[in-house]
Amino acid sequence: MSSSPHPEETQIPAEFALLAFDMEKYSKIPEARMESTRSDVDDIVAGVLADCGLPDPQTLPHSYKDGGDGAILLFPPEVLARIIDPLLGRLSAALARYDQQRLASSPLVRLRVAVHAGPVTGPELRSGNALVDVSRLLDSQAVRQALKSAADTGGFLAGVLSETAYQRCVHGGYTPELAPLHFAQATARVSDKPGYQALCHLHVPGMPGASITPYLDGEPGPGSPEAGSPAEPGTSGAVPAAASASQGGGIQFHAPLYGATVGGHIERVRNTYPHR
């Protein structure tokens, strides 16, 4: 006779909106400058959160996960859209202002940012697939290549949205300044995790999605049937095996292309933040 499962094994954990950021080439910053540079980034992020009317995760229980060169921030689920729009654009602008003011001897700061939503478990909120997924998106080759497109056009930030975040917020119409044409659809892969791949959506503030795509390895270029076609709501972020097998290496360009159009659809989180 099988024993009954514990209640915590059958209850879906509380959902959070997750934002993760990571500094480009942090390990190449001289050790004597690492702490001050990271503190500057923390100040920039905190200022942008306040400007967007978002809570500071450092003031919420177990909602700030420091990673040395970055962090994972947990928010109430209802603010998911706002950590995409306006946060990504305002964070990019704040980084640009910081770059204008920094000394020539100070390290250059560029950020990769990932946005996701999902359950987080444990008394200290340190477990769950959502934390794993947002970390892999942040480390993916796709967002690294998107940051290269930002750098080539004078930008300082590249964002990557999970399929969940994209469908709920952008496809759902909750990001007034961002439409599907501002994103490039891609497959997130991580070099040291060959079995991992997931559908994602890349955004570089100030660039159309079609100008990001040429930087991506093995992704359809502007005008191809696959480009800019969002997945149907409710579909998994995983890429079918047949589809991934059919994707070739393609031609990679190393400069942004402007003026191209990408076919897209302009169409249209609810939860309550758990009591502590």
pLDDT digits (tens, 9 = 90+) for 212-259: 999 998 765 443 334 444 433 333 344 433 333 333 343 333 334 333
Give the pLDDT score at 11: 83
Give the pLDDT score at 103: 83
Mean pLDDT of the chain: 82
Ranges in the chain, pLDDT < 70: 1-8, 219-276
Domain 13-246 fold: Alpha-Beta Plaits (3.30.70)
Give the pLDDT score at 177: 98
Give the pLDDT score at 241: 34
pTM assigned to the model: 0.77
Give the pLDDT score at 29: 86
Give the pLDDT score at 153: 97
Q: What is the 3-state secondary structure (H, E, C) of the chain?
A: CCCCCCHHHCCCCCEEEEEEEEECCHHHCCHHHHHHHHHHHHHHHHHHHHHCCCCCHHHCCCCEEECCCEEEEEECHHHCHHHCCCHHHHHHHHHHHHHHHCCCCCCCCCEEEEEEEEECECCCCCECHHHHHHHHHHHCHHHHHHHHHHHHCCCCEEEEEEHHHHHHHHCCCCCCCCCHHHCEEEEEEECCEEEEEEEEEEECCCCCHHHHHHHCCCCCCCCCCCCCCCCCCCCCCCCCHHHHHHCCCCCCCCCCCCCCCCCCCCCCCCCCCCCC
